[in-house]
Amino acid sequence: MRVPHPIPYQGSKRVIAGHIVKYLPGKVGRLIEPFAGSAAVSIAVACDQKAERFMINDVNEPLIALWDQIINRPEKIATAYEKLWKDQQGKEREFYDRIRHDFNNTRRPEYFLYLLARCVKAAIRYNSNGEFNQSPDNRRKGMRPSTMFSQIAGVSRLLKGRTTLTCKDYRAILQDVGPADVIYMDPPYQGVCGERDRRYAQVVSYESFVTSLEELNSNNVSFIVSYDGRTGAKKFGKTLPTSLQLTHIEIKAGKSSQATLLGRDEDTVESLYLSDPLVSRLGRLEEAEEQPALFSHCAKTEITHRLSQAP
């Protein structure tokens, strides 16, 4: 195991996180994720020892509460998850429905983790009242407790003591950024997101987001944006305007499973946009692109299966 990931999350940048890390300068004071989700990029950056501190933000309050437990109280959340996993045996569907109901009433982080581990395609869905309403994947019982212990222990070891957790609108997070910081932004995927999308607790308008990027440019801020993509010739999302003067890079994210089901052999390609200040800090962009997508520190670090042995 190279990079731990306790939170399964549809749309996570886990697959391409190793490529994103290549576009960070050698020294980053703080890596900031205003739309953290599964925090895949923060975890990858911490694994590769490329930032001193981290800010994980998401407008989804239960998600941030869960991250607080994972990072700062790993044994407590892992033990609570193990109990839920064991209690479901033999009555998985009925148990899932009850935990989903209880989560919507209490917002307890261990309930949220269990639901994420069991729900269809690891995809959060909300109803019009803001309640979690995704169905379970009845083929799976969720990540086994021993594996979850390992994943949580690994993340806690990487991020504990140097991570700030916040639950704010992304625009508030962008107001306090230093010259040594780098912002990584993966806003709700506007390629498939309308004015109100059940997948996201927050909808970000194109116009507002572009205005925020213009302000970051005027303040000489280093940032990376994941925003649009394509499968084969089919594009998803509106391209960011050339007036922002961003460097556009395309990264192959693997074969499209949907296209494969339809008998087509097509790659999914995701876009990265790099700000000019970041490119300047990188020096020669060609050299960054030639770096291997490895996580040298995590590859050498054994992730323990017993949280009680973690430092």
For the chain, what percent of residues have pLDDT higher than 70? 81
The reported pLDDT for the residue numbered 177 is: 95
Residue 82: burial class (beta carbons within 10 Å; 0-12, 13-18, 19+):
middle
- Token duo for residue 254: 């693997």
* Helices 109-118 and 74-87, axial angle in degrees (round to 10): 60
170 has which bridge partners? Answer: none
Q: What is the pLDDT of residue 299?
A: 45
Q: What are the structure tokens assigned to 285, written together?
A: 């962009």
For the chain, give the mean pLDDT.
85
Q: Residue 307 above 80 pLDDT?
A: no
Residues whose CB falls within 8 Å of the CB of residue 92, separated by 6 or more in sequence, listed in order: 118, 136, 138, 141
Q: What is the rounded distance in angstroms from the CA atom of residue 258 to the CA atom of residue 231?
A: 10
Which residue in 89, 177, 213, 190 sits closest to 141, CA to CA? 89
Token duo for residue 272? 């990265």
Question: At 266, is the secondary structure helix, strand, or coil?
Answer: coil
pLDDT the model gives residue 283: 84
Band of the pLDDT at 293, cuts 50, 70, 90? low
Given a cut of 90, is residue 158 above it in pLDDT? yes
Contact 81, 148 (CB under 8 A): yes
For the cut 60, the answer to whether the pLDDT of residue 239 exceeds it is yes
pLDDT band of residue 288 (cuts 50, 70, 90) is low
To which H or E segment does residue 79 belong?
A: helix 74-87
pLDDT tens for residues 50-99?
A: 999 999 999 999 999 999 999 999 999 999 999 999 999 999 999 999 99
Mean pLDDT of 97-107: 98
Where is average pLDDT lowest: 97-101, 163-167, 227-231?
227-231
State the pLDDT at residue 93. Answer: 96
Least confident range from 182-186, 201-205, 286-290: namely: 286-290
Is the pLDDT confidence value at 233 over 80?
no
The per-residue pLDDT for range 190-202, each reduced to its tens digit, is 544 444 444 444 5
**Each residue of 203-226: pLDDT tens digit?**
788 999 999 999 999 999 999 999
Task: Record the pTM.
Answer: 0.86
Question: Using CA atoms, how far apart are residues 104 and 124, in angstroms rounded to an integer?
Answer: 13
SS3 279: helix
Q: Give the Cα separation of 277 and 217 in Å (integer).
A: 8
DSSP letter assigned to residue 307: G
* H or E segment and range at residue 251: strand 247-255
Q: How far apart are the first and last CA of the chain?
A: 19
Higher pLDDT, 118 or 9: 118
